[in-house]
Amino acid sequence: MKLVKFLALVLWSSPLVFSQQIIPEPVAQQKALGEFVLTADTRIHIPKGNAEVRKIAEFLAMTLAIPTGVKLPVLETPKIGKHINFKLESTPFKVVGQEEGYSLDITPKHIDIKAQTPAGLFYGVQSLIQLFPKQVEGKKYQRMVWKIPSSSVIDYPRYAWRGIMLDVSRHFFPKEYIKSFIDQLARYKFNTFHWHLTDDQGWRIEIKSYPKLTSVGAWRVPRVGNWWERELPQEGEKPTYGGFYTQEDIKEIVAYAQSKYIQILPEIDVPGHSLAILTAYPELSCAGGNKFQVNAGWKFYRDVENSLCPSNEKVYEFLDKVFGEVTELFPHPYIHIGGDECYKGYWEKSAECQALMKREGLKNTVELQSYFVKRVEKILSSKGKKLIGWDEILEGGLAPEATVMSWRGDKGGIEAAKQNHAVVMTPNTFAYLDLYQGEPTAEPMTYDLLRLKRVYNFEPTPASVSSSLILGGQGNLWTESIPNSRHVEYMMYPRAWALSEVLWSKKEKRNWDYFITKMENQFLRMDEASISYSRSVYDPLVRTMKEGTNLKIEMLSEIKGLDLYYTFDGTNPDAFSPKYQSKLDIPKNASFLKIQSYRGGKPIGQRLSIPVKSLYDRAGRYNADFGF
């Protein structure tokens, strides 16, 4: 009898028996008997006199109202009948005192959401929404029975910093889309929206002290195509492409994000990546004068200056006023100052910079950038803000109180932590969401590869440093190759779901095979919500390697149970074509390798058609450990 009870417990505890699942994976989730059915008699009960909790409850009621046709009343009266109950605990309880933790108990008669803070209640609501049928994501009424399996959830995050960065400089995204982007971050329990507001290709935030930053710096001539190949502006072309956020827009978006328990980290990228600034105010450069260009190649900056001049006192007056206005708009304790990829060639040619270096005892222009960053830190400190920057701010000496965002792998983060500085891990090798996520010849153009499973295997805390110094991590979505919101979503999902689980869930709770089932459930929900996503995970990684004088082809699948069929003869493969079993030779005179993945006897993913020339060109690439 005890064995039967034990087996029943294991069965009900197994995540694979859940008809609905949660991303990111909770700390603990256990199924119970029965189900909760939403009806017109259901009520939401909240504590008396708590306006913040009322807003969370009204958010839940509004989310359910359109698809279910039921507008749940939010009441402070005693609980009666079928209800969804919100409770703030005054003392630590079973979510071990975590500020963002919650418990969720679903029974046939009631749903209880408990937390010590409103943020915890909000995350409990986000999990509850994911447990409703997929149609809850839709924007129209669905006549159906709305029910949730009974279960209990205990949950709290692993990391305090769980972020996504969106670059709005390379391409501008309007205010209403930014709000919907924030909605999606909240659904998967991200709590930091890193807003890359300025770069060479556009200045996107109104600064009243310097109006030309937006009247001039927010606009450029329109271009399409690969960003590293774009034609420079021609004489007489009008700069009509761009846009910016007014300060009223910013206030509205910040307040909206706060209502979703998301802080917005603004980034003003200096001293490099400042072409938009120098186009508007050329007197802040060393050489003086620029035309606003759209190319962003490294060689390009040897011809067109894009770095602020660190020996020019007007630069620090400018930054003092800019950061003063930014500080008033963003309550986040940090301001991100960029600090990356600063071309210093114009500093080396500047007599004023050389004189400054001599006065300050600076050995080189790397130390000159450190001088600049330290002065900026003092400006921010005077305004009650802390400085955070990309890992290049380590070079030449780290500012005393700076926090490092490590993007060039984890090396910079490890170095900063060993100097006892706080770190946010966002390595390009695991967290750059603008990279190819599938076969490059079948994907929209970009410049490198990051498969979903590699994102899922990201470990933000290196073994060699104190975990207390790793604040968390984030994914970065640079938009040189992402011109519209649909493509933003395509590049975000499903990789952002994997990242949410890395940053929220306990490491030992990660389960790749189970994550795939949850991913496929989310695909259905995204279809209901009309949100774009990539299915590239179903396509194999095709890599080539030399064995002696021969070139061999290898195909690797991220997902178990896929069969790969291929042809070299120009025909479209199907289940009657050769099945991939082991490394292949390229037949003489073949022009294309075509591949179709199957699962359960049915095609899945896209049909790949890879030029043989591409296979030769990539020899030795994509051969690193991509997490397979």
Q: Model confidence over 207-219: pLDDT tens digits? A: 999 999 999 999 9
SS3 call for 400: coil
On whether both 604 and 523 belong to a single domain, the answer is no
- Give backbone dihedrals phi and psi of 585, rounded to 5 degrees, phi first: -95, 155
Instruction: Please name the amino acid found at residue 439.
Output: E
Which domain-ending residue is among 508, 529, 550? 529
- Within a domain: residue 534? no
The order of strands in the sheet holding 550-556 is: 541-547, 550-556, 584-585
Cβ pair 113, 131 in contact under 8 A:
no
Residue of 25, 137, 155, 199 with catalytic role: 199
Asked if pLDDT for residue 292 goes beyond 70, the answer is: no
Q: Are residues 416 and 481 in the same domain?
A: yes
Q: Using one digit for the tens of pLDDT, what is the confidence trace for 402-413? A: 999 999 999 999
Domain C-terminal end among 494, 511, 529: 529
2 inside domain: no
Q: What is the pLDDT confidence band of residue 301, given thresholds at 50, 70 and 90? A: low
Q: At what angle do helices 247-259 and 313-329 cross, to 10 degrees?
A: 50
Active-site residue flag, 341: yes
Q: What is the pLDDT of residue 3?
A: 37
User: What is the residue whose two structure tokens read 């179903």?
Assistant: 538
Tokens 């969720």 correspond to 104
Measure the CA–CA gap between 221 and 216, rounded to whole angstroms. 11
The predicted pLDDT at position 293 comes to: 61
Q: How far apart are CA 153 and CA 104, in angstroms?
A: 5
Judge if the upstream peptide bond of residue 118 is cis by omega within 30 degrees of 0: no
pLDDT band at 294 (very low <50, low <70, confident <90, very high): low
Tokens read off for 131: 């447990």
In a domain, 7, yes or no: no
Q: Which tokens sit at 371? A: 């001088």
Which tokens go with 194?
């890193």
Helix (H, G, I), strand (E, B) or coil at 536: helix
CATH of the domain at 40: 3.30.379.10
Is residue 9 scored above 60 in pLDDT?
A: no
Q: Give me the pLDDT at residue 7, please.
A: 33
Q: Is the pLDDT of residue 246 over 50?
A: yes
The residues, any chain, with a CB within 8 Å of residue 550's CB and separated by 6 or more, are 585
Is there a contact between 19 and 518 (Cβ–Cβ < 8 Å)?
A: no
pLDDT > 90 in the chain, percent = 85
Of the candidates 563, 565, 543, the residue with the CA atom closest to the CA atom of residue 555: 543
Model confidence at 620, pLDDT cuts 50, 70, 90, reads confident
Residue 361's contacts (CB-CB under 8 Å, 6 or more residues apart) are none
- Residues 556-563: what's their mean pLDDT? 95
Does pLDDT of 285 surpass 90?
A: yes
Mean pLDDT of all residues belonging to the chain: 92
Strands 161-167 and 241-242 turn out to be unpaired
Does the active-site annotation cover 273?
Answer: yes
- State pLDDT tens for residues 568-587: 999 999 999 999 999 999 99
Residues 545 and 522 in one domain: no
Give the closest residue to 404 by CA, choosing from 340, 327, 342, 333.
Answer: 340
The pLDDT value given to residue 365: 97
Band of the pLDDT at 1, cuts 50, 70, 90? Answer: very low
- Which ranges of 383-511 does DSSP label H, i.e. alpha helix? 411-418, 428-431, 452-456, 485-492, 495-504
> Looking at the structure, do residues 565 and 524 belong to the same domain, yes or no?
no
CA–CA gap between residue 268 and residue 271 (Å, rounded): 9
Model confidence at 133: pLDDT above 80: yes
Q: Would you say the C-alpha torsion 132, 135, 140, 146 has a positive or negative sign? A: negative
Q: Over the Cα atoms of the chain, what is R_g?
A: 27
Distance, CA of 241 to CA of 486 (rounded, Å): 18
Give the residue, 94 or 437, on which the prediction is more confident: 437
142-176 pLDDT per residue, tens:
999 999 999 999 999 999 999 999 999 999 999 99
Query: Which domain covers residue 497, as residue numbers?
Result: 161-529
306 and 398 in one domain?
A: yes
Q: Indicate whether 560 and 591 sit together in one domain.
A: yes
Give pLDDT, residue 419.
Answer: 97
- Per the structure, the count of domains in the chain is 3
Select which of 45, 83, 196, 273 is catalytic. Answer: 273
Q: Is residue 217 part of a domain?
A: yes
Distance of alpha carbon 209 from alpha carbon 18, whole angstroms: 56
Per-residue confidence (pLDDT) for residue 11, from 0 to 100: 35
Same domain, 102 and 227: no
Q: Which residues contact 66 (CB under 8 A, 6 or more apart)?
A: 138, 139, 140, 141
DSSP β-bridge partners for residue 432: 476
Cβ proximity of 477 and 488 under 8 Å? yes
Examine the domain organization and report whether 439 and 453 are in the same domain. yes
Q: Is residue 5 part of a domain?
A: no
Is residue 605 in a domain? yes
CA dihedral 196, 319, 310, 375 (to 10 degrees): -100
Q: Of 340, 341, 415, 554, which is the active-site residue?
A: 341
* Max avg pLDDT among 11-20, 69-78, 487-496: 487-496
Rounded distance between C-alpha atoms, residue 406 and residue 408, angstroms: 6
The continuous run of DSSP H or E covering 517 comes out as: helix 512-529
Question: What is the three-class DSSP state of 267?
Answer: strand
Tokens of 471: 């604040």
Are 352 and 315 members of one domain? yes
Higher per-residue pLDDT: 78 or 340: 340
CA atoms within 13 A on the CB side of 310: 32
Residue 559 predicted with pLDDT over 90: yes
Task: Compute how many other C-beta atoms are within 10 angstroms of the C-beta atom of residue 479.
Answer: 23
Domain match, 517 and 544 both: no
Using the predicted structure, report yes or no on whether residue 83 has a pLDDT greater than 50: yes
415 and 551 inside one domain: no
Pick the range with the lowest mean pLDDT from 24-38, 91-105, 314-328. 91-105
Specify the CATH number for the domain of residue 574. Answer: 2.60.40
Q: How far apart (Å, rounded) are the C-alpha atoms in residues 443 and 441?
A: 6
Q: Does residue 624 carry a pLDDT above 80?
A: no
Mean pLDDT of 485-505: 98
Q: What is the mean pLDDT of residues 52-79?
A: 94
Q: Is the pLDDT of residue 86 over 60?
A: yes
Residue 275 amino acid letter:
L
Percent of the chain with pLDDT over 70: 93
3-state secondary structure of 315: helix
Q: Quick one: which H or E segment has residue 406?
A: strand 403-406
**Beta strands at 470-477 and 161-167: parallel, antiparallel or unpaired:** parallel
Q: What CA–CA distances, in Å, run from 102 to 63, 75, 94, 122, 190?
A: 20, 21, 9, 9, 15
Please give the DSSP secondary-structure letter assigned to residue 231: P
Based on the domain organization, do 435 and 511 belong to the same domain?
yes
Which one of 102, 126, 155 terminates a domain?
Answer: 155
Within 13 A of 110's CA, how many CA atoms are on the CB side?
14
pTM attached to this predicted model: 0.94
pLDDT at 300 over 70: no
**DSSP-derived secondary structure for 412-429:** HHHHHHHTT--EEE--HH
Instruction: Read off the CATH number of the domain in which 251 is found.
Output: 3.20.20.80
pLDDT of residue 92: 64
Domain assignment present for 59: yes
Q: Looking at the domain assignment, is residue 626 inside a domain?
A: no
